[in-house]
Structure 1
Amino acid sequence: MNTLPLSVVHRLPQGYRRTAKQSGFHVEPIPPGVRCEENCLVGLKLLSPAGEGAWTIIRRLSQALSDIDVESAVLECDGGPCLFVCCRDECTATCHLKNFGVAIAETFSLTRPF
């Protein structure tokens, strides 16, 4: 099994949707308060490394997902490469990426004070 040691991704906090532009496929954040539709996308961004190495890793992650027939797109977002998957495929994608050796950084909210 191929693994990517020390690869850590985090889920971008907002949902995204596809937009069609003359130069091809793009995404835009879904504004707060707008209901997420069936074609809502989830963005996963690599925490490290940066630069060309990040693009290589994100492309390998996309390939790993295509191996299990999960569609994904690699696009620039917030100044770096991001991997976008359909929200209905998020659990499958993150589970497979974890099996591939990728750590998924998750946010935790404190529900009760200490």
Structure 2
Amino acid sequence: MSGLQLSIVHRLPHSYRWCAEGPGGKIEPQDNNLLANEQDLIGLRLLSHDGKSAWEVMQQMKMMLAEIEVNGSVVECEGEPCLFVRRCDESATTCRLKNQGVAIAETFAAWQRA
């Protein structure tokens, strides 16, 4: 079983954009009050790995996405490797990762009884 099949990723809550350096450089969070743009970036963070293995798994995911012509970049964000793809590629990204055995953790709102 590959490391990818044991991986769990979580979508970061913000939209991001490239700083002046462009793709592969630094990213910065977007203002939540701005309208979403298809060129904005979404980020995925590993919950299942850390350290060197996290970087390796993220690189594997990036290569896996490249096979379906989705460009991604692995960039450090808040001290951890994160995979960033364009917002317009989010559906293809999650579909590809799920089909390869990667679990996508989702945030659920608490259900309350009245």
Q: If the length of structure 2 is used for normalisation, what is the TM-score?
A: 0.89
* Alignment deviations for residues 3-51 of structure 1 (CA, whole Å, 9 cap, x no partner): 62220000000000111239x6221000221222231000000012110
Unpaired segments ≥5 residues, structure 1: none
Tell me, in whole angstroms, the C-alpha distance in 2 between the residues paired with 1:10 and 1:3. 16
Q: Which of the two has greater strand per residue?
A: 1
- How many residue pairs get aligned? The number is 112
1:35/1:50 CA distance change after superposition, 3 Å: same
- Which 4+ residue blocks in structure 1 deviate beyond 4 angstroms? none
* Alignment deviations for residues 34-82 of structure 1 (CA, whole Å, 9 cap, x no partner): 2222310000000121100000000000000000000101000011100
| Structure-1 residue corresponding to 2:112 | 113
Unpaired segments ≥5 residues, structure 2: none
Tell me, in whole angstroms, the C-alpha distance in 1 between the residues paired with 2:87 and 2:21. 22
| Structure-2 residue corresponding to 1:26 | 26
Select between 30-39 and 96-105 the one with higher mean Cα deviation.
Answer: 30-39
Q: Which of the two has greater helix per residue?
A: 2
- Say what the alpha-carbon RMSD is for the aligned residues: 1.9
Matches within 5 A, 1:1-114: 4-21=4-21, 25-110=25-110, 113-114=112-113
3-state SS in 2 of match to 1:4: helix
